[in-house]
């Protein structure tokens, strides 16, 4: 059970997935004046409240258990996160999982760090988290209330895409302030604006004259990180198999890994991957 700052109750490989650091040709850098849409896949006026409804945590876990998202997590994302976090870990080191939700990333970090803190504003999400004893879950909005401790590493997954621009900035500021000097943020964006589905989303947004689905480009996210006191060290594209909505989930599961391998072997440009992971250092 999570400790709460709101109700103060107390409280649970795919080694080739990661291209070599600085691998040339994977990202073809965009210019920052390129048309960019920072909107996207769960459109909400208030992202802080978007996962708070009773039962939402169970629904979230179910979504990530099977189909495209299940395969992406088990075959690509989790091994990649392990690869990236492993060299940053250690028994005497700690990790903050910002917007930890149901604890997917906190659980991965728990095996690599001595201590992990997961923080989220949604009790519904936290109530569905099952975590080992070295993970402390906190029901808190760190953008409004500091934790009073600092960390070697912070993670933030599936958060920045759909958070409002002000919340993105508030979260980056809070994360930066909770990192030790030279600490690192490892985070992702789950709808790259330049991927095929990202382009479809941008087209839909334009056709409907409103945000149907959020997208975020590497260039725009780098700008935000830089403006918030981070130095971007690495961007890693992944998830080359486009997600065809809720269709063909079995086919996606079967094709996900071979498609990823083939895309890397053929050096498909990173712009076409649907997701990207970023490692940024506190300046």
Ligand X SMILES: C[S@@+](CC[C@H](N)C(=O)[O-])C[C@H]1O[C@@H](n2cnc3c(N)ncnc32)[C@H](O)[C@@H]1O
Q: Which residues contact ligand X (rule: CB under 6 A)?
A: 47-48, 51, 99-101, 104-105, 119-122, 125, 141-143, 157-159
Compute how many other C-beta atoms are within 10 angstroms of the C-beta atom of residue 131. 22
CA distances from 72 to 105, 114, 158, 216 (A): 14, 27, 13, 19
Instruction: Kindly state the smallest distance separating residue 100's Cβ from ligand X, in Å.
Output: 6
Q: Which is nearer to ligand X, 26 or 121 (CB)?
A: 121
Q: Can you tell me the distance from the alpha carbon of 135 to that of 3, in angstroms, rounded to the nearest whole number?
A: 11
Q: Which is nearer to ligand X, 97 or 264 (CB)?
A: 97
Q: At what angle do helices 165-177 and 218-227 cross, to 10 degrees?
A: 50
Which residue, chain included where needed, has tokens 């970090």? Answer: 109
Q: Which is nearer to ligand X, 101 or 264 (CB)?
A: 101
Report the Cα–Cα distance between both ends of the chain, in Å, rounded: 34
Residue from 91, 120, 95, 121 nearest 106 by CA:
95
- Token code pair at residue 20: 């070599």
**Element of type H or E holding 71:** helix 67-71
Instruction: Kindly state the smallest distance separating residue 124's Cβ from ligand X, in Å.
Output: 8
Residue from 271, 60, 269 nearest 159 by CA:
60
Using alpha carbons only, what angle is made at residue 280 by residues 274 and 282, rounded to the nearest 5 degrees?
155
Instruction: Kindly state the smallest distance separating residue 15's Cβ from ligand X, in Å.
Output: 22
The answer to whether 211 and 3 are in contact (CB under 8 A) is no
Instruction: Kindly state the smallest distance separating residue 50's Cβ from ligand X, in Å.
Output: 6
Instruction: Kindly state the smallest distance separating residue 240's Cβ from ligand X, in Å.
Output: 20
Q: Which is nearer to ligand X, 158 or 243 (CB)?
A: 158
- Listed in sequence order, the residues at least 6 apart from 111 whose beta carbon sits closer than 8 Å to its beta carbon are none
Instruction: Kindly state the smallest distance separating residue 266's Cβ from ligand X, in Å.
Output: 29
Nearest residue (beta carbon) to ligand X: 101
Q: Which is nearer to ligand X, 238 or 264 (CB)?
A: 238
Instruction: Kindly state the smallest distance separating residue 122's Cβ from ligand X, in Å.
Output: 3
Q: Can you tell me the distance from the alpha carbon of 229 to that of 114, in angstroms, rounded to the nearest whole number?
A: 26
Rg of the chain over Cα atoms, rounded to whole angstroms, equals 18
Q: Which is nearer to ligand X, 71 or 105 (CB)?
A: 105
Q: Which is nearer to ligand X, 99 or 112 (CB)?
A: 99
Q: Which is nearer to ligand X, 142 or 193 (CB)?
A: 142
Using alpha carbons only, what angle is made at residue 75 by residues 15 and 125, rounded to the nearest 5 degrees?
120
Instruction: Kindly state the smallest distance separating residue 226's Cβ from ligand X, in Å.
Output: 21
């Amino acid at each position: 059970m999570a400790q709460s700052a709101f109700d103060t109750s107390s409280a649970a490989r795919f080694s080739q997935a990661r291209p070599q650091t600085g691998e040339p040709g994977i990202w073809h850098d965009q210019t920052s004046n390129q048309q960019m849409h920072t909107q996207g896949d769960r459109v909400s006026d208030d992202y802080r409240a978007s996962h708070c409804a009773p039962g939402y945590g169970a629904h979230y876990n179910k979504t990530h258990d099977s189909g495209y998202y299940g395969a992406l997590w088990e075959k690509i994302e989790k091994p990649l996160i392990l690869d990236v976090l492993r060299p940053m870990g250690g028994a005497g080191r700690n990790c903050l999982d910002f917007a930890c939700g149901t604890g997917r990333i906190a659980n991965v970090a728990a095996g690599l760090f001595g201590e992990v803190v997961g923080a989220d504003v949604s009790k519904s999400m936290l109530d569905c988290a099952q975590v080992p004893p070295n993970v402390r879950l906190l029901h808190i909005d760190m953008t409004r209330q500091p934790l009073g401790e600092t960390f070697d590493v912070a993670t933030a997954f599936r958060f920045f895409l759909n958070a409002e621009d002000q919340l993105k900035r508030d979260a980056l500021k809070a994360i930066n302030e909770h990192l030790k000097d030279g600490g690192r943020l490892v985070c992702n964006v789950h709808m790259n604006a330049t991927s095929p589905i990202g382009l479809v989303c941008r087209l839909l947004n334009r056709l409907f004259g409103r945000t149907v689905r959020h997208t975020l480009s590497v260039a725009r996210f780098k700008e935000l990180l830089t403006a918030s006191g981070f130095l971007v060290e690495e961007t890693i594209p992944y998830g080359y198999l486009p997600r065809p909505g809720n269709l063909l989930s079995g086919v996606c599961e079967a094709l996900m890994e071979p498609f990823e391998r083939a895309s890397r072997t053929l050096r498909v440009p990173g712009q076409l991957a649907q997701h990207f992971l970023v490692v940024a250092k506190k300046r």
